[in-house]
């Protein structure tokens, strides 16, 4: 079939539709093709105008694709801070992480208590409410993590100034919880601090835990106790495969993420920090974007992949509101996300409110808070959807580059004759007609990959 040749004007017109920046295309209509972004994308691929590395999803969803170029102020060197540089403090993250915004440490107290310190980059010291940086971050909602690039919610210069462990010492906003042996909190507090942070990858921290080193052993003990308490309050356990997708012009790669215990330890410490922040705010009548979640729609027992898949589907969407409420999926009576102010706008708002309270200034009202929540969540939702679609696109590229490969799969759900298969090595799900029951292990190959439509056909081998 002879492919049409497009004039520069026609090419621009088709590209606008493919990018979601136009609703119609006379060129596609004249070619008897559907006037849809997917059809425009497919035509551009056939003509070689676009290559398979091109992903239009962030563009279609109006997610910002340019770096923030606004000026960044310096920290106030005269601002009083609690000096905690004598305490061993660790920012533990995936290898290659470029925006370290949280770190953990412990301090032994009298009476058998342990103080858990969760230090967070003091971004709000540099981003005042209503400032140009604040307005830009709100318009983006969150940092956009694509397989081929990262577009920050805030300038790279700010990350370099505020990132924990990127300088010899780091200003921080720190949440502390005084915990007993069973994980109960006897007291919570929020302080402006200065810390000396050592950066570690999860595998390095895991090796030090297995060697019996402190504070990793104590951190793991506190995390296990906290998790048991939350499970007793109904916290859900969902353990599904996770991967990292990387891509460039030459191809794409998918790497299963290892899950050493230290990953869950850090996650539990961040959960405790969010809980402690919410308690502190509630005790002081401070409006925050509290995270809440309704009860699951039904109970699902078991720890198989189909059970985990079904349990995730029972979760209600997390809602953010200016007043506290229970987060049933986490088994907490109140909660606020507080540990990623460089990456999530509502975390930044939490920090701005805490800083206003600590300085004796008037915080944002509940009414203003509700408006900020609505605006930023709309933008953050677009960012998350762009990330999900882009990961799927590049995962399909990775699959297409290995047409003969046989993949291990598990049936995790079925509706009539149609089953949903999960490919653990890809954290990728695909429909397939099969009589196999949920939990059945299969081997499959893929064919007929359609990038514009995000479709692929699986067959059992």
- Residue 99: per-residue pLDDT: 84
The answer to whether residues 338 and 422 belong to one domain is no
Given 387, 412, 436, the domain boundary residue is 387
Do 347 and 278 form a contact (C-beta atoms < 8 A)? no
Scan for tokens 């830009």, then name that residue.
Answer: 136
Q: Percentage of the chain surpassing pLDDT 70? A: 100
- Per-residue pLDDT of 18-76, as tens digits, reads 999 999 999 999 999 999 999 999 999 999 999 999 999 999 999 999 999 999 999 99
Predicted local distance difference test score (pLDDT) of residue 2: 65
pLDDT band at 96 (very low <50, low <70, confident <90, very high): confident
CA dist., res. 87 & res. 106, Å (int) = 8
Q: Has residue 104 been placed in a domain?
A: yes
The CATH number for 26's domain is: 1.10.10.10
The answer to the question of residue 415 being in a domain is yes
The answer to whether residue 339 is domain-embedded is yes
Mean per-residue pLDDT over the chain, rounded: 95
Say if residue 383 is in the same domain as residue 418: no
> How many Cβ atoms are within 10 Å of 273's Cβ, its own excluded?
27
Q: Examine residue 395 and state whether it is found in any structural domain, yes or no.
A: no
Please tell me whether residues 120 and 179 are part of one structural domain: yes
Across 377-393, average pLDDT: 95
- Residue 71: inside a domain, yes or no? no
Distances (CA, A) of 345 to 33, 136, 378: 41, 10, 11
Give per-residue pLDDT as tens, 336-347: 999 999 999 999
- Which pLDDT score, from 0 to 100, does residue 417 have? 86
Residues 357 and 252 in one domain: yes
Q: Say whether both 18 and 105 belong to one domain.
A: no
Is pLDDT above 70 for 445? yes
- In Å, how far are 4, 30, 298 from 47, measured between CA atoms? 8, 16, 49
CATH number at residue 406: 2.40.50.140
458/450 Cα distance (integer angstroms): 12
What is the residue whose two structure tokens read 């994980």?
183
Q: How confident is the model at residue 169 (pLDDT cuts 50, 70, 90)?
A: very high
SS3 state at 19: coil
Residue 149's pLDDT band (cuts 50, 70, 90): very high
Domain end marker among 335, 359, 387: 387
Question: Does the pLDDT value for residue 120 go beyond 70?
Answer: yes
The yes-or-no verdict on residue 13 having pLDDT over 80 is: yes
Whole-angstrom Cα distance, residue 253 to residue 301? Answer: 34
Angle at which helices 345-358 and 132-140 pack, to 10 degrees?
Answer: 140
Do residues 322 and 417 share a domain?
no
CA atoms within 13 A on the CB side of 346: 27
Same domain? 451 vs 345: no
Looking at the fold, whether 293 and 363 belong to one and the same domain comes out as yes
Residue 163: alpha-carbon gap to chain centroid: 17
Q: Are residues 289 and 315 in the same domain?
A: yes
Q: Is the pLDDT of residue 1 over 60?
A: no
Does 32 fall in a domain?
yes
Average pLDDT over residues 317-329: 95
Residue 56 falls inside a structural domain: no
Count of C-beta atoms within a 10 Å radius of residue 415: 8
pLDDT at residue 94 in the model: 87
Predicted local confidence at residue 390, as pLDDT: 98
3-state helix, strand, coil in the chain (%, to 5): 35, 25, 40
How sure is the predictor about 446, in pLDDT bands with cuts at 50, 70 and 90?
very high
Range of the domain at 366: 82-387
Residue 229 shares a structural domain with residue 356: yes
Element (H, E) at 460: strand 455-460
Residues found in the chain: 461
- Whether residues 383 and 406 share a domain: the answer is no
| pLDDT given at position 412 | 97
The total number of structural domains that make up the chain: 3
- Report the pLDDT averaged over residues 101-126: 96
Does 252 have pLDDT greater than 80?
yes
**Alpha carbon distance 382, 375 (integer Å):** 11
Whether 225 is covered by a domain: the verdict is yes
261 and 133 share one domain: yes
- pLDDT class of 98 with cuts at 50, 70, 90: confident
Q: Please give the pLDDT value at position 424.
A: 97
């Amino acid at each position: 079939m002879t492919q049409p040749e497009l004039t520069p004007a026609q090419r621009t017109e088709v590209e606008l539709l493919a990018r979601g920046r136009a609703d119609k295309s006379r060129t596609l209509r004249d070619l008897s093709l559907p006037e849809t972004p997917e059809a425009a994308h497919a035509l551009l691929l056939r003509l070689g105008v676009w290559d398979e590395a091109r992903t239009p999803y962030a563009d279609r969803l109006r997610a910002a694709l340019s770096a923030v170029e606004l000026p960044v102020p310096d920290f106030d060197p005269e601002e009083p801070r609690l000096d905690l540089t004598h305490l061993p403090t660790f920012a533990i993250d995936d290898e290659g992480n470029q925006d370290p915004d949280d770190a953990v440490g412990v301090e032994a107290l009298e009476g058998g208590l342990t103080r858990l310190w969760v230090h967070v980059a003091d971004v709000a010291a540099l981003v005042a409410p209503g400032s140009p940086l604040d307005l830009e971050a709100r318009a983006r909602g969150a940092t956009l993590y694509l397989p081929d690039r990262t577009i920050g919610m805030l300038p790279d210069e700010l990350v370099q100034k505020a990132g924990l462990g990127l300088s010899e010492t780091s200003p921080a906003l720190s949440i502390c919880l005084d915990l007993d042996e069973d994980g109960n909190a006897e007291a919570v507090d929020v302080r402006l601090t200065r810390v000396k942070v050592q950066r570690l990858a999860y595998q390095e921290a895991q090796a030090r835990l297995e060697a019996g080193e402190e504070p990793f052993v104590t951190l793991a003990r506190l995390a296990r106790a906290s998790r048991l308490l939350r499970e007793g309050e109904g916290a859900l356990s969902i353990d599904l495969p996770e991967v990292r997708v990387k891509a460039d012009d030459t191809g794409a790669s998918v790497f299963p993420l290892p899950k050493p215990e230290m990953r869950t330890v850090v996650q539990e410490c961040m959960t405790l920090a969010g809980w402690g922040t919410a308690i502190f705010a509630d005790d002081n009548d401070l409006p925050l974007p509290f995270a809440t979640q309704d009860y699951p729609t039904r109970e699902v027992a078991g720890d198989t992949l189909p059970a985990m898949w079904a349990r995730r589907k029972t979760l209600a969407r997390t809602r953010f509101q200016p007043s506290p409420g229970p987060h049933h999926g986490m088994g907490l009576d109140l909660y606020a996300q507080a540990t990623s102010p460089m990456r999530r706008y509502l975390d930044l708002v939490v920090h701005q409110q805490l800083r206003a309270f600590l300085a004796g200034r008037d915080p944002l009202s509940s009414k203003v808070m509700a408006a900020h929540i609505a605006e930023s969540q709309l933008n953050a939702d677009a960012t998350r959807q762009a990330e999900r679609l882009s990961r799927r696109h590049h995962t399909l590229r990775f699959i297409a580059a290995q047409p003969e490969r046989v993949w291990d799969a598990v049936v995790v759900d079925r509706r009539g004759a149609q089953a949903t298969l999960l490919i653990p090595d890809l954290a990728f799900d695909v429909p397939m007609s099969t009589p196999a029951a949920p939990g059945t292990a299969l081997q499959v190959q893929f064919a007929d990959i359609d990038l514009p439509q995000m479709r692929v056909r699986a067959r059992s081998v």
